Structure 1
Amino acid sequence: MAKSSTKSATKSAPKSTAARKAAPVPQPDPAPIPVTPTEDKVAAPVLRKKDFLDRVIAESGARKPDARAIAEATLKVLGEALARGETLSLPPLGKLRVSRSTPDAGGARIVVKLRRAAPEESSQKAQISVPGGLAEGDD
């Protein structure tokens, strides 16, 4: 008996490993990582609402309930204006312009740029010049 040494010409080519792998599953965007100050950077002090109100009361001499109502209304109006993307020109604070705004989990993240006048420039504008001085007593 003669052995047949013919091989089949229809032998399939080896499959590549890429064809066997499943398509990658899309991953959800990772949650934003809060930025924390590093050891070489010093965190700026934070002015809390209570301290802000205490400073407003000391500066204005107003009664605490009156100053609280005015300060809270002012902060509310400022926040609403910034949320609408308005530019605020508020001397002596300066000019605030919304740089960018993105929705966030708790509301919106608004990045603003503040342009302030030079200290000597703003103090000169704040001083009022009264010709002849101020009247005292029965003058």
Structure 2
Amino acid sequence: MSVSSVKNVTPPVALAAGQNPSPMVVATTEVENQTLALTKKELVDEAVLRSGIKKKDAKPVVEALLAVLGEAVAEGRDLNLRPFGKLRINRSETRSNGTIHICRLRQPLEASQNGEEAEEKSEAEGSLSLHSPLAEAVG
């Protein structure tokens, strides 16, 4: 929990003998990032929403992409995938239940704006565009 998410809480008031405490509903608006892991089902659903293609068409593509990324990390290759970011593998340790990869992920501050500016610049220079037709359908 970050320091900025800590909220001021009033201390409990002592009750006189025979008084019952009144119930208080406590709701948190912030959710811990660690508790919400992105599942493959959620990834497929989000890809369907953003691309507009059918789920039956998106699922094999997402599964193939995850397989390729997993193989690249297993080989110790770094990933440079905009707007996701640049993932560098620092070290790997093989354990009895699998391999642990210690990685560093650097994401641009404003991924969408930086990517669009770089893309427009490359198009202006006449180089090959990395612009996705699926991104046009969403935007």
Alignment deviations for residues 2-39 of structure 1 (CA, whole Å, 9 cap, x no partner): xxxxxxxxxxxxxxxxxxxxxxxxxxxxxxxxxxxxxx
Tell me which of 107, 115, 122 is aligned to 1:122. Answer: 115
Structure 2 unaligned residues grouped into runs of 5+: 1-5, 7-31, 125-139
Match of 2:66 in 1: 75
C-alpha separation between the residues in 1 aligned to 2:68 and 2:78?
Answer: 13
Percentage identity across aligned positions?
A: 34
Match of 1:55 in 2: 46
C-alpha separation between the residues in 2 aligned to 1:57 and 1:47?
Answer: 15
Tell me which of 83, 87, 95 is aligned to 2:86. Answer: 95
The structure that is helix-richer by fraction is 2
Structure 1 unaligned residues grouped into runs of 5+: 1-39, 132-139
SS at match of 1:68: helix
Map residues 11-90 of structure 1 onto 2, 5 A cutoff.
42-44=32-34, 45-90=36-81
Give 1:72's aligned amino acid: E
Aligned length in residues: 91
Structure 1 runs (4+) deviating above 3 angstroms are 122-128
Match of 1:134 in 2: none
C-alpha separation between the residues in 1 aligned to 2:44 and 2:119?
Answer: 22
Greater gyration radius: 1
Give 1:54's aligned amino acid: D
If the length of structure 1 is used for normalisation, what is the TM-score?
0.56
